[in-house]
Structure 1
């Protein structure tokens, strides 16, 4: 009879966080705090919505600078 060798289970494995549903966090932030998190690359936005969000972001936080490493 062949008995499979038990696999080592690292005790730190149980400390791994559960994967987060980012869209659910954004949705909850909007509903509870009126906090909006938007990526300009989001396919759900059309050009006018992207442009409006870009202008608001630049007005509040300044122009976006591409950083090259």
Structure 2
């Protein structure tokens, strides 16, 4: 039998498509602070927004001496 419940099996959407649809349908933006498509000021803005909303990332909290 080849029947699958809704949401199981079939074709998976790629992550970029999920992000695109999330933006278009719900106004939700998922952006990586390391996205190479962004300029440095845009990446910095994303980082600052993330810190304002959610606090610093664990890698940013630790001082790295090496």
TM-score, normalised to structure 2, is 0.70
- Partner residue, 2:14: 21
- Partner residue, 1:40: 33
Unaligned ranges ≥5, structure 2: 60-66
- Partner residue, 2:51: 58
Larger Rg: 1
TM-score, normalised to structure 1, is 0.67
Deviations 1:31-68 (A, max 9, x none): 000000001111100000000010010001001112xx
